[in-house]
Amino acid sequence: MKKNSEALPEEIEEPPSEWSNWHWQLDHRIQTFEELSNIIQLSDEEKNALLSDTEIIPLAITPYYARLLSKTNPNQPLRRAVVPTTAEFIVSHGELEDPLGEEDDSPVPGIVHRYPDRVLFLVTDCCSTYCRYCTRSRMVGRSGKRHASMDQWEGAIEYIKANKSIRDVLISGGDPLVLPDKTLRNLLRNVRQIPHVEILRIGTKVPVVLPQRITEDLLEILKENHPLWINIHFMHPDEITKETSEACIKLANIGIPLGSQTVLLKNINDSVEIMKSLIHKLLKIRVRPYYLYQCDTIQGSAHFRTPVSTGIKIIEGLRGHTTGFAVPSYVIDAPGGGGKVPITPDYFVGRNGTDVILRNYENKQFRYPDIV
């Protein structure tokens, strides 16, 4: 793996004066074949994907994140995650536009109500950077709009108000942190004012791909809405840069618990060594590993998906070999709307009489006198 300094596209090796302005970053996203080909040497598979008329996830990469991409190596993990290839055109067995059945659990536009006491509130279809394995590839970037309005969310908010069993609202999209400050403040206030909503959560990748967004004004907006939790999509240890670290520490310093949600991806992070490096770097910037997701079966995702056995081996390689709370929960979001199902190594060997036989991380067996 090349160091980041060796991977800088020539055009932005000397960042412009506006580099730290998050609006500038959004306005100057790489979104076309021409723009991308000017900063990296595209492979045939990348060229053909970008020039094809086949509908795939839109291309968008912030200049900041583009600066982390290798100019010459199409197999670099960060590059594979954001640059399309023709592998996305291949639809394999079991792959669906909406593999999690979110549309079936959507009582009103923008709301996914799968669990009794919480809802997913999709507030935008825009992201600053589009991951090629996105669960919501069917919808992200399709409207062409960066911002939404309160009018679009009125029905969703009324649904939350009317269902007093909802105590937890996860705000996601797209990425809610691409919303303008005023719009985001109004959105959070409207949800926060619902008496039975106890906590708000935000799902985002902004601190990773657009760390300039974590401004003092944004921090003030977030502080107004405690208790607030943020889950950040980290994928690879190379994403944890000085800028990303500073963004996460700023969020942690205003009292927001930070968690990491990582998708397990073939030839990107599918080894114990890479995952251990990622979680150790996360802990240093006060982000707790939360979920390790098996890659969802969206259309054209086979080149990203690993066997489930790979995820189990990674958890086995972490358990006992690093801090206990650093080990994420490995889950499969069950196709068809079954929700998150935890997948764990089998440490329960069986019984001998009334004793339970256990296996530890060193593969040694121990007896526990059970009460029956």
Active-site positions read: 114-115, 118, 127, 131, 134, 136, 296, 333, 340
CB 172 within 8 A of CB 120: yes
Helix (H, G, I), strand (E, B) or coil at 194: coil
d(CA 300, CA 303): 8
DSSP class of residue 319?
Answer: B
* 292 φ, ψ (degrees, to nearest 5): -110, 110
Residue 98 has which token pair? Answer: 């909406």
Residues contacting residue 77 through CB under 8 Å, at least 6 positions apart = 1, 235, 236, 238, 265, 267, 268, 269
In the sheet with 287-294, reading across from the earlier edge strand, the strands are 111-115, 118-122, 168-172, 199-204, 228-232, 258-264, 287-294, 329-334, 339-342
d(CA 356, CA 352): 6
H-run or E-run covering 311: helix 308-318
d(CA 19, CA 27): 11
Residues contacting residue 299 through CB under 8 Å, at least 6 positions apart = 91, 95, 96, 97, 137
d(CA 106, CA 148): 19
CB 369 within 8 A of CB 351: no
Pairing of strands 287-294, 258-264: parallel
Distances from the Cα of 312 to the Cα of 26, 132, 327, 347, angstroms? 38, 24, 12, 12
Residue 123's nearest CA partner among 170, 185, 173, 182 is 173
Complete DSSP assignment for 29-83: -B-SHHHHHTTS---HHHHHHHH--S--SPP-B-HHHHTTS-SS-TT-HHHHHHS
